[in-house]
Structure 1
Amino acid sequence: MVNILNMSNKKICIKLCLLFLLLSCEEEIKLSFSEITPTTVNNTIVEVNIPEAIGIDETADSINTKIHKHVIESLHIGNTGEISSTSIEESVALFNEEFKTFKLDFPETNEIWEAQIDGDVMFLSSEIVSIAITTYKNTGGAHGNLNISILNFDAQSGKKISNEDLFTDFKQFQNIAQTQFDRKFKEQDLFFENSPFQLSNNIGYTQEGILLLYNTYEIAPYSSGTIELTIPFNLLKSVLAFNRF
């Protein structure tokens, strides 16, 4: 005689397994990245190496559009409200043309302009991707300008994530960050020039934890360079808005 109860249990188990597999598939990382190096034929002073998202078309397109926009803005000379470039290649060409104009205006100068932009995927999970874009630009002067920007994206939609939306309780995160910052830099009282603690504009996920990155001049003199603080994930379990797996 067939055991109806056992058959029913087996059906339930099969359904649960299928549900588990379905949920697991939904959590798979659907994005990957390759590196691209957009340039122009006559370019001699600009180098761009950035990640390009590959995967679901809408998601990848959204991420790539925002990365390209950032590069275009970084290469622009002058007011960002006057940007006319619609592609990185066009921005590279314009940067070269600006240098040629500069040399015509100041033929006696030996200064050489240069720009290098490198992008790196710091973190990628099924829910979030954090990308660091390092820009070095020298258009004359005592030294060039180095700037690192962290861009966070929803790995499912490709939408950019604000710093506030990285956490379920932004105020609590700020309190944790201040405690960790004071602990690491307690003997370096030049930071913030005696003003209250402030979070960095550049916050992102890494394999080790949440990174706060302060660019040169943000909170300390030029000689201090870039200031970094990584807060381990185990200290932030209660406030993380995104799954890091």
Structure 2
Amino acid sequence: MRFKFLVYTLIISLFSQTCKEEKTLEFKEINVTTSANKVVEINIPEAIGDEEVANAINKRINQIIVSSLIPKSDNKSTTMTVTESIDLFNNEYVAFKTDFPESVMEWDAQIDGEIMYQSDEVVSIAITSYMNTGGAHGNLIINFLNFDVYTGKQLKNEDLFQDYLSFTEIAKDYFNEEIADKKELYFEPDNFKLPKNIGFNEEGVILLYNTYEIAPYSSGITEINIPWEDLQSTLNFL
């Protein structure tokens, strides 16, 4: 009886491993536009492979794009497709030019996606959005998205680390070193907090603070890189 149980357990284990191996995930770059589009340029990675996983990842990427093009106060943005949001952005630009024909200001929307890192367990994607709708300057926002390769589920920052507190202490040291000679440029340099954007690249972990997150617009984006060798004991994924 025990022998049969062990054989059954082995079969289940091999079956589960086979299922994991079958869930291959690849990416191709696509350009998204519409026939009426004049001011929006979108180049993003599209997941292909296991349908359930790919659909989950692509859906989340598309949500980021729509929310970049359409103000968050617009309730339609939660159900709108990317092509619909492109056309709406263009319609708003046409309306602006109609209302202010003397204006020389041109609108611009550029959204690019990049695979920063991919392993057998996790993929990190950066979505960079630049919007200029006639203000004093454009608005650049970068979003890091981390996904479980087997499920397509977006991972929270806490999911990336076995020991989140230890990682926070390591990140704090790197942060303090990065801003040591320019602390006067930051809002609260002695009150460290992790950024919303944490992702992986080939060298290690990236911390990215968008404009206005911890410093004024003039300071730009703050990016901090922490090498793998300093994080081995804290990571859930490699």
1:154 aligns with 2:127: no
Structure of higher CA gyration radius:
1
CA-based RMSD: 2.2
> Equivalent residue for 2:84?
90
- After superposition, where does 1:63-78 map in structure 2 within 5 Å? 63-77=57-71
> Equivalent residue for 1:164?
158
Q: CA offset at residue 194 of structure 1? A: 4.0
Deviations 1:59-114 (A, max 9, x none): 00100010011101111046143426531111111000011111222222111111
Task: State the distance in 1 between where 2:23 and 2:100 align.
Answer: 52
Q: Is the 8 A contact 2:208 2:223 kept in 1?
A: yes
Structure 2: where are the runs of 5+ without partners? 1-9
Q: TM-score scaled to structure 1, two decimals?
A: 0.85
Q: Secondary structure at the match of 1:64?
A: helix
> Equivalent residue for 1:221?
216
Moved more, 101-110 or 146-155: 101-110
Corresponding residue pairs, total: 225
- After superposition, where does 1:25-104 map in structure 2 within 5 Å? 26=20, 30-77=24-71, 79-83=73-77, 86-104=80-98
Structure 1: where are the runs of 5+ without partners? 1-15
Which letter does structure 1 place at the counterpart of 2:111?
I
Q: CA offset at residue 185 of structure 1? A: 2.2
> Equivalent residue for 1:235?
230
Deviations 1:4-57 (A, max 9, x none): xxxxxxxxxxxx9xx99x969946882110011111112110000000001111
Which letter does structure 1 place at the counterpart of 2:56?
S
Moved more, 199-208 or 27-36: 27-36
> Equivalent residue for 1:134?
128
Compared CA separation, residues 109 and 44, structure 1 to 2 (3 A): same
Which letter does structure 1 place at the counterpart of 2:134?
G
> Equivalent residue for 1:198?
193
1:109 aligns with 2:103: yes
Structure 1 residue ranges, 4+ long, deviating more than 4 angstroms after superposition: 22-29
Task: State the distance in 2 between where 1:34 and 1:162 align.
Answer: 24
Q: Which residue, out of 151, 156, 179, partners 1:185?
A: 179
Deviations 1:170-190 (A, max 9, x none): 121111100111123211212
Q: Is the 8 A contact 1:85 1:91 kept in 2?
A: no
Moved more, 127-136 or 104-113: 104-113
Q: TM-score scaled to structure 2, two decimals?
A: 0.87
Compared CA separation, residues 125 and 25, structure 1 to 2 (3 A): farther
Q: Secondary structure at the match of 1:93?
A: helix
Compared CA separation, residues 213 and 80, structure 1 to 2 (3 A): farther
Task: State the distance in 2 between where 1:175 and 1:151 align.
Answer: 23
Compared CA separation, residues 78 and 101, structure 1 to 2 (3 A): farther
Which letter does structure 1 place at the counterpart of 2:180?
K
Task: State the distance in 1 between where 2:119 and 2:78 align.
Answer: 35
